[in-house]
Structure 1
Amino acid sequence: MAALAWLLIPLFAVFGAAIWGSWATRNRTTGDVSELAGYARFREAMEKPPSGSDVV
C-alpha cells in the first residue's frame, strides 16, 4: 500500500503541472480591444487644443 502512495504522488504532481501549464498559456487577449479603444480616446482628447475658457 505504501508503494501505491509513492506512485500516486508523482501522478498528482503531473496532473497539477498540466493544469497550471494550461492556465499559464491561456489566451488573454480578450480585454485588449476595449483597452486599446480607451487609449485611442485618451490620445484624441490630449491632442485637442485647449478650449480657451480655462486658460490663465
Structure 2
Amino acid sequence: MTSTSPSHLFATLYRRGTAWITTLRDQGRADVTDPEATAAVLVAAWTDHAVTALNLRS
C-alpha cells in the first residue's frame, strides 16, 4: 500500500518536479542553474495557490 500523507505527496511532487526540470535543462529547453531549488519554489507556489483558493471559497 502506498502512503498518501501530505508529506509523502509533497516529497513525490518535489522529486518528480526536480527530475522533470533536470530533463528540460539537459535537453536545452530550460535555462535552470539549480533544478532542486526551482522545484522547491514551484511546490511552494502550488501549495500557496491551493491554500489561497481554499481560503477564498470559505
Instruction: Tell me if TM exceeds 0.5.
Output: no
Normalising by structure 2, report the TM-score.
0.39
Larger radius of gyration: 1
